[in-house]
Amino acid sequence: MKFREVVIFSGETFQVPQSIQRIDHRATHGWQLRYGGTKLYSDHTPDGSGAAAALDKATKELLRRIATLPAPSKLQRGPSQNKSSNLPAGISGPVVRLRRNGHTRDCSLAVLIPRFGEKPRRRTIYIGTENTYTIERYEAALARAIEMRKAAEEAYEKASTRAKRAEARAHKAALKAA
């Protein structure tokens, strides 16, 4: 779990986990939890003396939410606005190329496969040559590409949630040991 050092208006310093933000504005002083929705944990004091207790409550709720909610996805859900085709995010093409020493061009779709904690991979799905290309083959290849991308996104999100929960368990164990 990532932490950062936060100095509040009273000069007190705290180690704050990611997904918790400090709010100090006029009469509002507290910690805002931003994971699976937002919730403010007020200091209930104008001088900041309740900040430690409020941060403790926010951290406990963060750990509870991490244990029960899926991790927020960092994957792009929709296609980029600059994308000229109407294909879903992570799928591009059809790519037409002539292989070295070849005489017939072939066509394929490119699928970006996200992998949590690793570089994404690119896979190609063959459609056909210029002689065998049909709309039916294109649609079948597109359906396979969409299914491949969907399976990769699900695996990415599961791995992301697993990692986030492991970090939370380690932090919880460290809190109990302290």
pLDDT in tens, 112-156: 999 998 999 999 999 999 889 999 999 999 999 999 999 999 999
Q: How far is CA 133 from CA 22, 26, 88, 142, 175, in A?
A: 58, 66, 21, 13, 61
How many folded domains does the chain comprise? 2
Asked, for residue 15, whether it belongs to a domain, the answer is: yes
CA dist., res. 97 & res. 105, Å (int): 5
Tens of pLDDT, residue by residue over 5-18, are 999 988 899 999 98
Residue 83 lies in a domain: no
What residues does 92 pair with on adjacent strands?
A: 110
Residue 138 lies in a domain: yes
CA pair distance 163, 152, nearest whole angstrom: 16
Q: Give residue 152's domain range.
A: 91-166
Nearest to 35 by CA among 6, 5, 70: 70
Residue 129, domain member (yes or no)? yes
Please, which pLDDT band fits residue 34 given cuts at 50, 70 and 90?
Answer: very high
Q: pTM of the predicted model, to two decimals?
A: 0.75
Are 109 and 154 in a shared domain? Answer: yes
Residue 79's SS3 state is coil
The 10s digit of each residue's pLDDT in 20-29 is 999 988 888 9
151: amino acid identity, one letter: A
Task: Provide the pLDDT for residue 21.
Answer: 95
CB 24 within 8 A of CB 51: no
Task: Kindly state whether residues 42 and 101 are assigned to the same domain.
Answer: no
Residue 177 in domain: no
